[in-house]
């Protein structure tokens, strides 16, 4: 940061996961750490903007890397069944991140992969429905 502040430019990419927006059972600690990095990235982006520094949380879906292979075994079952069949291509993800860095109008969040887009859109729709359903209860807590 000190060097970027001095140059008044830079771009920080925090690679999180779609798991920082959506959740799946059995990996609560993983999601907790990714949700935290999402918040840190958003807040840091707000803080660093005045110094000409951009921050983007990159949120990949499932990519064909070894993360879900031999190194990932959980209680009595392995998630390796999908290993090698994930939809995401790591080389295309790298190209997308380079395109992001070169952009003059980079987003605070960048989903990578069609599965990430689909699952996050579903989560956003469910949140909207939940907020709309409970809006009266939520707003009833204000002072009158």
Q: How confident is the model at residue 144, as a pLDDT?
A: 87
What is the model's pLDDT at position 10?
A: 95
pLDDT computed for residue 66 by the predictor: 64
CB-count exposure of residue 111 (10 Å: 0-12, 13-18, 19+): buried
Q: Does residue 3 carry a catalytic annotation?
A: no
Strand segments (E) across 1-144: 10-15, 53-60, 73-74, 77-78, 109-112
Residue of 30, 51, 64, 89 marked active site: 30
Q: What confidence tens digit (pLDDT) does each residue in 37-47 have?
A: 999 999 999 99
Between vectors from CA 27 to CA 22 and to CA 32, what angle results, nearest 5°? 60
Q: Please check the confidence at residue 50 and state whether its pLDDT lies above 70.
A: yes
- At residue 61, the pLDDT reads 84
This prediction's pTM = 0.81
Mean pLDDT score of the chain, rounded to an integer?
88
Q: Residue 65 has what pLDDT?
A: 66
- pLDDT value at residue 62: 79
pLDDT in tens, 114-126: 999 999 999 999 9
Domains of the chain: 2-126 (3.40.50.720)
Q: What is the pLDDT of residue 79?
A: 53
- The stretches of 49-111 forming alpha helices (DSSP H) are 90-102
Q: Binning pLDDT at 50, 70 and 90, where does residue 52 land? A: very high
In the predicted structure, residue 59 carries a pLDDT above the cut 90: yes
Q: What is the pLDDT of residues 64-94, one digit of tens each?
A: 666 555 555 555 555 555 666 676 788 898 9
73: β partners = 78
């Amino acid at each position: 940061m000190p060097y970027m502040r001095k140059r008044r430019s830079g771009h920080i990419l925090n690679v999180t996961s779609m798991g920082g927006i959506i959740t799946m059972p059995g990996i609560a600690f993983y999601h907790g750490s990714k949700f935290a990095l999402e918040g840190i990235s958003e807040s840091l982006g707000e803080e660093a903007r005045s110094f000409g520094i951009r921050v983007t949380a990159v949120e990949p879906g499932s990519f064909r890397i070894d993360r879900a292979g031999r190194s990932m075994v959980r209680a009595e079952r392995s998630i390796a069944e999908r290993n090698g069949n994930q939809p995401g291509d790591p080389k295309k993800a790298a190209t997308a991140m380079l395109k992001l860095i070169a952009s003059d109008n980079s987003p605070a969040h960048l989903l990578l992969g069609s599965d990430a887009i689909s699952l996050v859109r579903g989560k956003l729709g469910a949140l909207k429905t939940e907020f709309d359903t409970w809006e009266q209860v939520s707003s009833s807590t204000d002072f009158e």
